[in-house]
């Protein structure tokens, strides 16, 4: 899906394409991977040919903080998907990957920043790659923030050639001159209740033309929080997503995208929300299913 030096195209760490035909569109795509300003670098393999590992660092910019005081969980998941997906891809070169599931538990909602991320491939199979992810708050003495497991399916890159300078490194993107809130950036329509809608703008697509997995995670976060506020008496508006399980079942190609939530129950201050995400414009097919645990903060 991406190109090597013989093509007039290069590929970025989330697969964004730049430098070739259609470069204007590519620049817009870059926004998704850069929005949370994730710096990334490859770690040396312990024995020369071991599984891939990467580290990352991301600031916690003021406009990206949620009710918990730290980076919104949807934003955290976007960075986990970006780092874990790229690490998984490096492990299967010259093939590439697509994320199929993400399981994350967030232990700390309040962050000082910057956040330090680490991704390690646990298993590299013929059809799938499993990668563990850890997040700590470097600004809070390395306090633990989140742990996650990302599973990716291995893809045949078809006619494309994937080539990266190794060890791979990407500097932290510049801060935004005119920052926008995550809900606005991810084109999540305002509203309340159990259904939340996202407009599938071009800036949210990856080079495959499908909705970025981080955008799906952000939609799940926002939708589950809105559903909790609407359904749980006394929840108020101070709620935040913590534990998340997402199964990416099918690519989102058309849009708009709708997250339909069912509140399963509330126990000890934590509300469990089932989130079913549909591509309305593609025969309303189910594209992602998961659960989000929402905590009153």
Partner 1 sequence: MAFAGYPPPEHLLGDLGMEAELTTETTARVRTRVTPQVLSADGGVRAGVLATLVDIVGGAIAARVLRPDWMATADLSIELVGPPVGPWVEARGSVLRRGRTTLVIEALVVAVDEDGDDVAVDGRAPDPVAWASMTFAVLPATNADSPVQLAADLPMRWAFRGGDLELPIMDALPVTVLDAPAGRVSVPVRPYLHNSFGAVQGGVIALIAEAAGAEALGAAQGRHGADMVVTDLQIAYLALGKVGPIVTSARVLATGPDGRAGAVVELRDGGADDRLTTVVNVTAAPADVTTRAVP
Count of residues for the chain? 297
Instruction: Let me know how many helices (H) and strands (E) the chain has, helices first.
Output: 4, 14
98 or 219, CB closer to partner 1?
A: 98
Three-class DSSP category at 215: helix
Burial of 174 from C-beta contacts in 10 A (0-12 / 13-18 / 19+): exposed
Tell the smallest beta-carbon distance from residue 287 to partner 1 (Å): 10
108 or 163, CB closer to partner 1?
A: 108
Tell the smallest beta-carbon distance from residue 296 to partner 1 (Å): 7
Give all strands (DSSP E) within the chain, no chain letters: 10-11, 17-18, 39-43, 53-58, 96-106, 115-124, 128-137, 143-155, 169-170, 195-198, 239-248, 257-267, 270-279, 285-296
26 or 232, CB closer to partner 1?
A: 232
In this structure, how many other beta carbons lie within 10 angstroms of the beta carbon of residue 285?
A: 14
Tell the smallest beta-carbon distance from residue 134 to partner 1 (Å): 8
11 or 98, CB closer to partner 1?
A: 98
Tell the smallest beta-carbon distance from residue 170 to partner 1 (Å): 27
260 or 274, CB closer to partner 1?
A: 274
Tell the smallest beta-carbon distance from residue 143 to partner 1 (Å): 7
Cα–Cα dist 253/59, whole Å: 31
Angle at 86 between CA 83 and CA 89, to 5 degrees: 150
**Residues sharing a CB contact under 8 Å with residue 291, sequence separation 6 or more, in sequence order:** 243, 244, 245, 264, 272, 273, 274, 275
Binding site for partner 1 (CB under 8 A): 100-101, 103-105, 107-108, 122-123, 127-128, 130, 132, 143-144, 147-149, 151, 153, 232-235, 243, 245, 247, 249-250, 264-272, 274, 286, 289-291, 293, 296
Tell the smallest beta-carbon distance from residue 250 to partner 1 (Å): 7
Cα–Cα dist 98/252, whole Å: 13
94 or 236, CB closer to partner 1?
A: 236
Phi, psi of 167 (to 5 degrees): -70, 145
95 or 161, CB closer to partner 1?
A: 95
Tell the smallest beta-carbon distance from residue 144 to partner 1 (Å): 5
């Amino acid at each position: 899906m991406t190109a090597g030096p013989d093509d007039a195209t290069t590929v970025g760490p989330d697969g964004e394409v730049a430098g070739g035909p259609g470069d204007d569109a590519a620049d817009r795509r870059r926004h998704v991977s850069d929005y949370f300003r994730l710096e990334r670098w490859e770690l040396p393999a312990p024995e020369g040919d071991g599984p891939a590992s990467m580290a990352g660092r991301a600031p916690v910019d003021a406009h990206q903080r949620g009710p918990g005081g730290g980076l919104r969980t949807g934003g955290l998941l976007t960075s986990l998907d970006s780092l874990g997906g790229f690490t998984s891809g490096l492990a299967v070169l010259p093939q590439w990957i697509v994320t199929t599931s993400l399981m994350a538990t967030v232990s700390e909602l309040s962050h000082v920043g910057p956040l330090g991320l680490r991704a390690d491939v646990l298993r590299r199979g013929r059809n799938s790659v499993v990668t563990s992810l850890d997040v700590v708050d470097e600004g809070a003495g390395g306090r633990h923030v989140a742990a996650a497991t990302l599973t990716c399916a291995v893809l045949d890159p078809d006619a494309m050639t994937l080539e990266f300078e190794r060890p791979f490194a990407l500097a932290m993107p510049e801060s935004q001159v005119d920052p926008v809130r995550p809900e606005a950036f991810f084109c999540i329509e305002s509203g309340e209740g159990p259904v939340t809608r996202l407009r599938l703008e071009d800036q949210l697509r990856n080079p495959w033309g499908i909705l970025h997995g981080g955008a799906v995670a952000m939609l799940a976060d926002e939708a589950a929080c809105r559903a909790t506020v609407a359904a749980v008496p006394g929840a108020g508006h101070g709620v935040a997503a913590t534990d998340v399980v997402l199964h990416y079942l099918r690519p989102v190609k058309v849009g708009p995208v709708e997250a339909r939530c069912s509140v399963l129950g509330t126990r000890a201050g934590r509300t469990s929300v089932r989130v079913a995400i549909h591509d309305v414009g593609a025969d309303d097919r189910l594209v992602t299913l998961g659960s989000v645990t929402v905590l009153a903060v």
